[in-house]
Amino acid sequence: MKTKLTLTIKKNVIEAAKRKAKSKGMSLSRMFEEIFEEGGSNEIKTEHQRAAERLLQKLIIFSAEIQKTISIPYKYFLFILLWNFFGV
């Protein structure tokens, strides 16, 4: 459940917080939630960082599923996957 919150903060602090939230690609409310969410790392992540984490999780799941069906070492498979995906 979301609830409105009123804070009394110096104007320059509010402006700095808004700039930081904008640079991270999120609202000030979302940045506040990320900082104080229970179990969170208190690290503010950009939208690109969150997308990279989601991609990495999908690659891990995908590679685990593929690994079950092929007979090559996992590291070699991961190398091929990254090579084809990123052209590195």
Can you tell me the distance from the alpha carbon of 14 to that of 67, in angstroms, rounded to the nearest whole number? 50
| Annotated domain spans of the chain | 11-45, 56-86
At 67 the pLDDT is: 67
Can you tell me the distance from the alpha carbon of 82 to that of 88, in angstroms, rounded to the nearest whole number? 7
Residue 63 has pLDDT above 90, yes or no: no
Look at 28-37, 38-47, 51-60, 72-81 and tell me which has the smallest mean pLDDT: 38-47
pTM for the whole structure: 0.45
Q: Which residues contact 26 (CB under 8 A, 6 or more apart)?
A: 34, 47
Residue 88 has pLDDT above 60, yes or no: no
pLDDT, tens digit, for every residue of 8-34? 999 999 999 999 888 888 899 988 888
Region 51-67: what's the mean pLDDT?
79
